[in-house]
Amino acid sequence: MILVNTDNSTVEEISRKTGIKEEAVYHLLEFLTLARIAKKEGDKYVVDETIRTIAKLLIDLDDLEFYSINILKNSN
């Protein structure tokens, strides 16, 4: 959820959009910056469009259990 909303936004903006506490957003974004997944530009964080798209697709898989059961049924 944080990656999806990290589009040249501050910790406060991301926290407001996601409902996740600012402190948690800050620590996760700092970790993602160290891992070179996110970039910090001033007080704003930026994530590559591809990474944001992948994060969005993962969120959209809202019923993973149903999805995996159907894949198993169709693989026989």
Domain ranges (residues) in the chain: 7-74
Instruction: Convert the pLDDT of each residue in 15-40 to its tens digit.
Output: 999 999 999 999 999 999 999 999 99
Which pTM value belongs to this model? 0.72
Q: Report the pLDDT value the prediction gives residue 52, as an integer from 0 to 100.
A: 87
Q: Report the pLDDT value the prediction gives residue 34, as an integer from 0 to 100.
A: 96
Q: Report the pLDDT value the prediction gives residue 1, as an integer from 0 to 100.
A: 78
Check whether 6 has a pLDDT greater than 70: yes
CATH class given for the domain over 7-74: mainly alpha
Residue 54: which residues within 8 A CB-CB, separation 6 or more?
Answer: none
Judge whether 39 and 25 are in contact, CB under 8 Å: no
- Percent of the chain clearing pLDDT 70 (strictly above): 80
DSSP state of 47: E
